[in-house]
Structure 1
Amino acid sequence: MKQLAVAVLFFAGLLAMNAQQVTITGKVTDEEGAGLSGANVYAVEVGAGATADMDGNYQFTVPAGRHIIEASYVGYSTSSQKVDVTEGTILNFTLTEGSALDEVVIYSGSKKAEKLTSSTATIITISAREISEYAGNPAELLAREKGIDYFRAGIAAPAFNIRGFNSNFNSKNLQVVDNRFSSLIATGLPMGPLTTTIKEDIEQVELILGPNATLYGPNAHNGLINTITKDPRKYEGTTIAGNLGVTGDGDAYYSGRLRFAKKFNEKWAFKATGEYTKATEFHYADTVYIDRKAADGSPGADGVKEGYPEFELDPKVEFFKTEASAYFTPTAGTDIIATYGHSNSTYLSPTNVGRNQIIDWRISFYQLRFNTKNFFAQTYFTTSKTDDTYSIDDRTKQYYRGIDAGMTPEEAAGDFSYASGALFKDDSKRWNAEIQYNNTLFEDMELITGLQYQKDMANSKSTYLLDQTDDDTIDVTQLGGYLQLDYNFGSGIKALAAARVDHHEIYGTNFIPKLGVVKELEKGSFRLTYGQGIASPTILNMYGDLFSGLILGNAEGFTLADGSKIAPQDVEKVSTYEVGYRGALAKKLYTDVNAYYNINKDFLSPVTVIGVTTHRGDTPIQEVQSGYAIYNGLVATYVNFGEVNTYGADLSLTYVLSPQWNMTANYSYFDYSFDENNMENDFDKNGEVNFLDFLVNAPKNKGGLGINYHGSRFFGSVFGRTVQKYNYFSSFQIASETIPGMNYRGRPIVEDAPSGDSYNYGPLGGFVTMDLNIGYKVSDKVTISLAATNLFNQDLREFTAAPPTRGLYVLETKIHLD
C-alpha cells in the first residue's frame, strides 16, 4: 500500500511538471477605483497566487485551464471568479467594504473549489477573520449557525449534531481536516478535542447539513465538518497568542499558541504550530447508583441501589498540540505537501455509561499530499494511543464491590478497581490513501472521480475489543470509488449527478447516489437535491468486548438459547430530499433557507440486551465471553431496526446596516414521524411502538440573534441563543421530564430521581443564553480581545453525564510579526 501511494504521487508529479504554464494578470481596486495594495489573489485549487503591488496590480503563473480565482483584502468582502485561463488572461476585481454575503469559495460540497452559490448542498462557512477575532474556542462559533445542535459537554468537549439521533457516543458526523479523516479508529467518533490543529492556523471551516456520503464515504451521514488550514505562502509570519481566563466556578484557564509560516522562495515554504492549554473542568460530580451488598454477598438491608459520587474524579484539563508542514512547488500550481501532527490530551469525556477519565490520549498523523490543476493524491497514517484512560462509572462500582467484600479502601482503589473492565487502552493505527481526478470534459461538463482506501488496525490490548493479545490487531479494510458530473445547461441552470460504490470487508458493498439542480439568479440561487447516506458500524460495534463480555460486538450475529438468530449488524441508511435558496431578499438583506425530508432506515441501535446466547457467529459463547461464569451467555449488543421519517427547515438572515455593522438571525425547526403499527419499529420489544424506540434526541425549535461590528480598530459581537426544552435518552443516560405510565430500560421515567445506574436531572435545553466578544487592534501587529461564553454564568443543562455549562471568560492577546 505504501509503495503504491508513493508511485502514484511520483507519476502524478511527472504529469504535472509537463503541464502548460500560463500567466494571469490584473488589478484589485475598491469601489472608487483605487488600487488595494497588499490584496491577496489566489487560484484556490492549486495554491498559486500573488500579493498586489502598491497600485493593486498582480501577476502569477498557473497551469492552463479552468480556475476559480479569489481576491481578498482585510476589511473587504472576498470576491471570486471562475475563468478559463490562457496565456495573457487579464482578470480585474472590485472589492466592497464590509462582510456581505459575497461569493465565497468552498470545498466541502464537491471536494474541489467552487462558489457557494453554485453548490447543491446546504453549506455553512466560518471564515478566518471570524475565527481570528473570536477570543474563545472557535468551536463556539458553531453555536451561532442554523441547523446545528451545539452543546458543551464540559469545558474541553464542545460538540455538535445535525438533524437528530444524537447520543453520548455519536459517530454519524464526519470530521475532516485538510482532506484527512479526523476520527478515532476503533470507535469512529470525531476526534474533537483530540485534534492537532490550533485555531490560528484555520483558514476556513465548512459545515454540510445532511448526508454527503457520495464523496466522503460512510459516516458523512448526518453532516460533515471540514476544516481547511492556512497555506504558509498566503499567510506568512509568526503569530503568538496567549489566553488568560476564568470559569464561572472561579478556576483559571490558560492557553498559549504559536504559529510560524515562511515562504523561502518560489519552490519551498514551511509552517509549524504549537499549543499548550490548561484548565479545570466545571465543578460537578455525577452520581453512580450501585446495588450494594453485604459482606457475605447478600443484598443490602433495603435492597435499593445507593448513590455515590464518581470515584477519584480528576477535573484536570490539559492539551498539547503541534503540527508542521513542508510545501514543495516543483512548478507553479503543483504542490507536494508533507505534514506531521501530534496531540496529547487529558480531560473528562461523557459516554453512554457515564464519564471517561481521558488520560494522556495521544494522536499522531503523517500525511503526504500531491495537488495540481486536475489531479489530487494523498496518503496518511494515523495512530491513537492511551494506556490509562478508564470508565469512571465502572471503576466506581468495582471499588464499592471491593469494600463490600471486606477490602480496605486502599486495596479496593488499586488494581482491583479496574478488574471489571474499567481500564481502556488503545494502540490503534490506520492507513488511508486517495486519488482524485477532475477535468472539464466538454465546455459545459465537469468531471470529478476518485478512489479511497482505508485499513483500520485496532488494538485495545484486550481491554475493550475482542483482540486476544497485546500485539493482536483487528484489521478491517474498505475501498470506495466515486464519480460526479456537473453540467451547465445555460440560463443559470446547473445539474449534478454523483454516485459512490463502497466495499467494506465486514458489511459488504453499498451504492450511494446523489442528484442536484441549481438555478442561479441575479442575486442568489435556488437548489434542489436528493442524496443518500450510510452510517457504518464502527469497530467497537462489530468487535467490542466490554465489561468481561457483557457487551459484545455484532460482526457475526448471535444464536439465542431458543435457537433463533440475531443478524450481524449492517449499515444504517438515510435518503434526503432538500430544497433551498441562498442569496439576497432585498438590498442589504441576505438569506440562506432550506427545507428537508429524510427517510431513515435500519437504525444502528444503542447497546441493547438480546438475551441468553449460545454462539457468536459459529463460536460457542463460552469461548468468547470472558465473564461467562457470571453472565452465563447473557449478552448486550448492537442491532439494526425500524424506519422513521424526519423533516425540518433552517433559516438564516443577515442584514448589512453599514460596511461595519450587520445583524444576523437564525431559526431551525425539526420533527419526526413513524408508523406505530409497524412492529419492526419496536426496538425495546415491549409490544408498543413509541418515541422511546427511536431516541431522536433533538429540540423541535432553536434559534439565535446577533449583532456584529468590524471597524478599522474595534470589533465585536453579541449573540443570544435559545434552545427549546427536550427529552434525551442515550443508553444508561436519561434527561427527561416525568412521563406517567412510561418506562425506559425497565424503570419509570421520573424527573429529578434516580434512573437505573444514573440520575435523571430533567430535560436538556430550555434556556436562553448570551455570548459576548469584543476586541481592539492596538496596532497592525497587536490585537487584544475578550470573549465571554454564557455571559451571565447560568447553569445550562446541555448534555448528559456532563456538568452544567457555566460561564467562561477569556482575555486574549495576539501578536503577529512579519
Structure 2
Amino acid sequence: MKKLLLLLTLISTFTMAAQDSGSISGTITEANGAPLSGATVYIKALDKGTVTDYDGKFKLDNVAAGTYDVAISYVGFATTTQNVTVTADNASTLNTSLNESDSLLNEVVITANKQPQKLTDVPATVNVITSKDISEFPSFNIGELAARQKGVDFVRSGVLGTGINIRGFNSAFNAKNLQVTDDRLSTLIATGLPMGSFSTVTKDDIARVEILLGPNGTLYGPNAHNGLVSTITKNPRQSEGTTLALGVGNQSVFTTRLRHAEAINEKFAYKFHLEHSEGKEFNYTDSVYVGDRAFKELDLDRDFKSQKYGASLFYKPTKSSEIIGYYGHSLNSNIGITNAGRNQIKDWSIDVAQLKFVSKHFFANAYYTWSKTEDTYAINQRTQNYVSFIDNGFSEAVARERSFTEQWLQTGPNQGDGIALPRGAVFKDDSQRFNAEAQYNNNWNKLYVTVGAQYQLDMADSKGTYLLDKDGIDIGQTGIYTQLEYKLDDSGWGFLFGGRLDNHELYGSNFIPKAAITKKVNNGTFRITYGKGIAVPSILNLKGNLFGGLVLGNGEGFTLTDGTKIQKLDVETINSYEIGYKGQLTDKLFVDVNGYYNQSDNFISPLRNIADAANGNFVTQVGDQPIGDVVEGSTGAFILTYLNFGHVDTYGVDIGLNYYFSDSFRTSVNYSYFGRDLDKDDLANDGNLDGQVLESELPINTPNHKMSVGFHYNKGKFYGAIYGRYVQKYDFFSGINVAAETQDLDGDGVNEIVENAQIGRTWNYGQLGGFTVDANAGYNVTDQFSMGVSFTNLLNAEVREFVASPVINTLFSLEMKYQFSLKQKKAAVN
C-alpha cells in the first residue's frame, strides 16, 4: 500500500510539473530569409538548449513557466537575444533572423576553445578574417589579408609568396606558428612548415580565418608555439549555390575558380571546388656566390602555377550530429625561399582525405595526408655544382645534367683532374601522415569540461635525397588534454585551467599547461592568462641529410676529434604571460588591447658549422656511429647542423581599435610593439659556439614597431577598403640570408655586416620594412554578378619585405564573380 501511495505521489508531482511548463518553438533564418541550419538556441538561466534542423526550425520542450532571455548564435553571425514568456501548457513562438556580424562585439569564434564562443568571452587575443572580408577582396591570394591584423608579422616575398609570424622568432624556414584547416594540420610533413599556397582549399570555400596570438599548445599540441592560424570552410547547408570567379592581374596573373554547394535533403549535403591559378614572379635573381664570384641562379623559372580541387559530403544521422567526409588535392610549381637559398619547386602535390563526426558533446576526427614531388631542387646548390663542372672544362650539357647530383672537386694541377662529390640538389618527397583525435565536452551548471586525445604518425620518405631515411622514418606522438572552465555569470568572473600531456617517440613526455582568469565589466572582458608552448624539432631538423652530408640533422648528437660532445636537439619552450581587455567602450568604439611577457629557452639555431678542420677538429661520430657509416665518404671536415641554445625574455603590446562612424563606414587602427632582453654575458646564448654572444645569433627577426590604419566602406552595391601599413626598419638574419644595416657586431672596430655588399654566400640589400598602401574596391552589378579590383603597394614604394626576395612593386588584380544562391531561391519558393 505504501509503494502504491509513493507511486501515485510521483505521478501527481510529475503531472503538476508538466502543467507548470510549456515549450518554445520557431524558425531561425539568415537576413535574406534562407533557413539557418545548425544555429544554437540556448536559455542560460535553465542551461537548456538545442540546435535548428535542416529547415531552420527548433523546439524546446518542458520549459518551466516564466520569462527568459533566449540567445541565438551561429559562428560568423551576430548573436541575438530575444525575451520570451512561457506559460503553463502552452507553446510560445520565437522566429528571428541572424545577420553576418558587422560588430566585433557580437562576433562568435570557434578556434580558441574548440567550441562556439563570443569573441569578448575568449581568454585570448583573436583576430578574425571573415567571409565578408574574403569575398570583398578581389585576389586569389587571401594571405594578403593577414597584413591587416594586429600582432601579426606579415611578409610578402613575391607575387605569390606571403607569410605570417606571430610575436618574434621569424626566419625563412619558420614553423613556430601552427596552421590548421577544418581541424587538420596544414603543414608539410618532413619540414613542419605551413602549407601556404599548397593548401587544398580555395578562397571561395573559406568561411573565416581565426588567428590566435600566443601559445595554444594545450588543445592543439606541439608547434602552436607562438600562435595558431585556423581556416574554417563553409558548410554547404549555409552556403548553397554556385560561385564562378575569373581574375587577371599584372605579372601575367590569371585565376579561375568554381565552387558549388547544395543541401539535397535534411540528411545529405555536398560541395566541391576547383581552381587554376598562374602568373610570373618579379624579375629578380638571388645571386649565387662561389668564392667572390657571383652567378645567376641556374635555369631560374619565374612562372608559378597552382591547381586545386576538393569535395565534401555531409550526412546528418540525427538533428544534432553530422558526419563529414572530405578529399582535397593541390599541385604546385613556384619558387620557395629557405635559409640555405631558394628552391625551384616543381609539381609538388598534396592530397588529404578526412572523415569527421561532430555532435553536441562528442567530436571525432581522422585524416591522412600525402606529399609528393620528384623534381624539386635547391637552386643555390645546383648552381654551385654547375659552376664546378664548367670551371673544370666540362661541356654545357654535361655540367647541366650532372649539376643535379654532383659537384666536381679539382685534385690536380690540370683542368679536369679531380673527383665527383655527391652534392645532390634534388629534393624528392613521398611522405605521409596519419592523424586522429577524439574529444568530449559538456557542462554541469557553471562548470564546462573538455577532454580529448590526439595521435599523429609521421612517415617521412625523401627517397634518400634530403633525409637520413634509408630504413624509413616513422615518428609517432600522442597527446591527451583536458580543459576546465568555471563561469560565474552573476558576478562576471570566469576561471580556466587546461593541461596537456604530450608524448613524443623521440622526446618522451612534455606537460603543457594553460590558465586564465576573466572578468566581465559592462560590455567588455578583462583577462589574465598564462600559457606554455613547445616547438618539437622537425624531421628535417632531426634527420636531414642535404648536399651530400654538408647539412645533417641533429637527432643523435655528435662527437668531435677532441672528444667534444654536441648534444642532440631538445624541445624549444616558451612561457607566456598576458593581460588584456576587449570590449565596447562606446556605442561606436571597440577596443582589443593586450600586453605580454615571454620567457623562451632552448632555441633551435640556424645552421651552424660544428667542425673546426683548420685546427684538426673533425666530426667523427653521429650518435654512436662513425660519420663515414652515416654519410658515405664523409670526412666530417665541414658539418652544418642545428643546436639548442639560449634564453631570452621578450615582451610587447598589441592594440586594436575599431570605430564605427556609421553602419557602412568604419576605421581600424592596429599598433604593435615588440622588445627583448638578451644577456650578452651568458654564453648559453652563444649560438655559433665562438665564445661571443652577438645579436645576429638570436633569430628574433621582428621590428620593434609596426602600425596600420584602415578605412572600410560598404553601402548599397559598393564596397571598398584602403590600408596604410608601416613596419619599422629592422635587421633580419636567417641562415645564409642577411638583410641588415652596416654594423660592427662584436665591437672590434670592423664592420662584419655591410649594406649593399656580399655577406658570405649572399648579398645584403639592407634592412627590411617601410611604408606601403594597399586598397581594394568592388561593385555588385546585380544580385549575382560583382566586379572588384585590388592594389598591393598602391604607391609603388620601394620596400623589401623579406630576405632573398625582390622589392614588391605595385600588384594589380581584377576579379569578376558570378554567384547563384540556391538558398535565396528556396526561400523565395517557400
How far residue 97 of structure 1 moved from its aligned partner, in angstroms, is 9.6
1:634-683 Cα distance to aligned partner (Å, 9 max, x none): 32211111100000000111110111100111100001002222211111
TM-score by length of 1: 0.89
The 3 A distance-change label for structure 1 pair 332 and 27 is closer
Give, in whole Å, the separation in 2 of the partners of 1:698 and 1:485: 35
Residue 302 of structure 2 corresponds to: 315
How far residue 49 of structure 1 moved from its aligned partner, in angstroms, is 3.7
Of 809, 813, 818, the match for 2:816: 813
Give, in whole Å, the separation in 2 of the partners of 1:369 and 1:413: 48
Is residue 395 from structure 1 mapped to residue 382 from structure 2 by the alignment? yes
Residue 618 of structure 1 corresponds to: 624
How far residue 582 of structure 1 moved from its aligned partner, in angstroms, is 0.6
How far residue 495 of structure 1 moved from its aligned partner, in angstroms, is 1.0
Instruction: Choose 682-691 or 799-808, whichever is displaced more.
Output: 682-691
Residue 365 of structure 1 corresponds to: 352
Q: Indicate if the aligned counterparts of 1:320 and 1:345 stay in contact, CA closer than 8 A.
A: yes
SS at match of 2:238: coil
Is residue 353 from structure 1 mapped to residue 336 from structure 2 by the alignment? no
Residue 589 of structure 2 corresponds to: 589
How far residue 686 of structure 1 moved from its aligned partner, in angstroms, is 2.8
Residue 134 of structure 1 corresponds to: 137
Give, in whole Å, the separation in 1 of the partners of 2:551 and 2:284: 28
How far residue 633 of structure 1 moved from its aligned partner, in angstroms, is 4.8
Residue 59 of structure 1 corresponds to: 57
Residue 39 of structure 2 corresponds to: 43
Aligned letter for 1:534? Answer: I
SS at match of 2:729: coil
Is residue 520 from structure 1 mapped to residue 496 from structure 2 by the alignment? no
Query: Counterparts in 2 of 1:160-559, with a 5 A limit?
Result: 160-246=164-250, 251-291=251-291, 305-419=292-406, 420-440=423-443, 442-468=444-470, 472-490=471-489, 491-559=491-559
How far residue 489 of structure 1 moved from its aligned partner, in angstroms, is 2.5
Give, in whole Å, the separation in 2 of the partners of 1:83 and 1:598: 45
Residue 124 of structure 1 corresponds to: 127
How far residue 695 of structure 1 moved from its aligned partner, in angstroms, is 2.1
SS at match of 1:623: helix
1:1-40 Cα distance to aligned partner (Å, 9 max, x none): xxxxxxxxxxxxxxxxxxxxx996346799xxxx973374
Residue 639 of structure 1 corresponds to: 643
Aligned letter for 1:557? Answer: G
The 3 A distance-change label for structure 1 pair 446 and 754 is same
SS at match of 1:634: coil
Give, in whole Å, the separation in 2 of the partners of 1:655 and 1:517: 27
How far residue 333 of structure 1 moved from its aligned partner, in angstroms, is 1.4
How far residue 42 of structure 1 moved from its aligned partner, in angstroms, is 3.7
How far residue 133 of structure 1 moved from its aligned partner, in angstroms, is 0.6
Residue 754 of structure 1 corresponds to: 758
The 3 A distance-change label for structure 1 pair 317 and 89 is farther
SS at match of 2:197: helix
Give, in whole Å, the separation in 2 of the partners of 1:460 and 1:567: 25
How far residue 83 of structure 1 moved from its aligned partner, in angstroms, is 12
Give, in whole Å, the separation in 2 of the partners of 1:421 and 1:68: 62
1:664-712 Cα distance to aligned partner (Å, 9 max, x none): 1110000100222221111122322232231210000001011101112
Aligned letter for 1:507? Answer: Y
Is residue 721 from structure 1 mapped to residue 725 from structure 2 by the alignment? yes
RMSD: 2.7
Aligned letter for 2:537? Answer: P
Aligned letter for 1:538? Answer: S
Give the total of aligned pairs.
760
Aligned letter for 1:657? Answer: F
TM-score by length of 2: 0.88
SS at match of 1:586: coil
Q: Indicate if the aligned counterparts of 2:28 and 2:52 stay in contact, CA closer than 8 A.
A: no
Of 688, 692, 697, the match for 1:693: 697
SS at match of 1:257: strand
Q: Indicate if the aligned counterparts of 1:788 and 1:808 stay in contact, CA closer than 8 A.
A: yes
Instruction: Choose 317-326 or 521-530, whichever is displaced more.
Output: 521-530
Is residue 769 from structure 1 mapped to residue 772 from structure 2 by the alignment? yes
Give, in whole Å, the separation in 2 of the partners of 1:306 and 1:47: 71
Give, in whole Å, the separation in 2 of the partners of 1:423 and 1:357: 10
The 3 A distance-change label for structure 1 pair 184 and 741 is closer
Give, in whole Å, the separation in 1 of the partners of 2:93 and 2:577: 41
Give, in whole Å, the separation in 2 of the partners of 1:458 and 1:743: 44
Aligned letter for 2:621? Answer: H
Aligned letter for 2:631? Answer: Q
How far residue 98 of structure 1 moved from its aligned partner, in angstroms, is 8.0
Is residue 105 from structure 1 mapped to residue 108 from structure 2 by the alignment? yes
How far residue 414 of structure 1 moved from its aligned partner, in angstroms, is 1.2
Q: Indicate if the aligned counterparts of 2:75 and 2:116 stay in contact, CA closer than 8 A.
A: no
Q: Indicate if the aligned counterparts of 1:80 and 1:115 stay in contact, CA closer than 8 A.
A: no
Give, in whole Å, the separation in 2 of the partners of 1:129 and 1:91: 28
| Structure label with greater radius of gyration | 2
Is residue 115 from structure 1 mapped to residue 121 from structure 2 by the alignment? no
Give, in whole Å, the separation in 2 of the partners of 1:338 and 1:63: 33
Give, in whole Å, the separation in 1 of the partners of 2:92 and 2:223: 42
The 3 A distance-change label for structure 1 pair 68 and 141 is farther
The 3 A distance-change label for structure 1 pair 623 and 183 is same
Give, in whole Å, the separation in 2 of the partners of 1:755 and 1:141: 33
Give, in whole Å, the separation in 2 of the partners of 1:318 and 1:44: 41
Instruction: Choose 183-192 or 550-559, whichever is displaced more.
Output: 550-559
Q: Indicate if the aligned counterparts of 2:50 and 2:60 stay in contact, CA closer than 8 A.
A: no
1:83-125 Cα distance to aligned partner (Å, 9 max, x none): 99x9978656586898222321111111122111111111111
The 3 A distance-change label for structure 1 pair 676 and 88 is farther
Q: Indicate if the aligned counterparts of 2:28 and 2:57 stay in contact, CA closer than 8 A.
A: no
Aligned letter for 2:57? Answer: Q
Could you list the runs of 5+ residues in structure 1 that have no partner in the other structure? 1-21, 53-57, 292-304
Give, in whole Å, the separation in 1 of the partners of 2:178 and 2:733: 22
Could you list the runs of 5+ residues in structure 2 that have no partner in the other structure? 1-21, 42-48, 64-68, 407-422, 612-617, 822-830
Q: Indicate if the aligned counterparts of 1:574 and 1:601 stay in contact, CA closer than 8 A.
A: yes
The 3 A distance-change label for structure 1 pair 90 and 36 is farther
The 3 A distance-change label for structure 1 pair 622 and 139 is same
1:223-257 Cα distance to aligned partner (Å, 9 max, x none): 110000000011100100110111xxxx3210000
The 3 A distance-change label for structure 1 pair 252 and 63 is farther
Give, in whole Å, the separation in 2 of the partners of 1:621 and 1:682: 25
Aligned letter for 1:543? Answer: K
1:166-219 Cα distance to aligned partner (Å, 9 max, x none): 000001111100000110000000101100111100111000001000010110
Give, in whole Å, the separation in 2 of the partners of 1:572 and 1:643: 10
How far residue 418 of structure 1 moved from its aligned partner, in angstroms, is 3.2
Give, in whole Å, the separation in 2 of the partners of 1:737 and 1:83: 63
Give, in whole Å, the separation in 1 of the partners of 2:172 and 2:242: 39
Aligned letter for 2:511? Answer: F
Aligned letter for 2:483? Answer: Q
Instruction: Choose 647-656 or 584-593, whichever is displaced more.
Output: 584-593
SS at match of 2:146: helix
SS at match of 2:387: helix
Q: What is the identity percentage for the equivalent residue pairs of Structure 1 and Structure 2?
A: 44
How far residue 742 of structure 1 moved from its aligned partner, in angstroms, is 4.1
1:563-616 Cα distance to aligned partner (Å, 9 max, x none): 121111111000000011111122301111111000001111111111222111
Give, in whole Å, the separation in 2 of the partners of 1:29 and 1:334: 20
SS at match of 1:190: coil
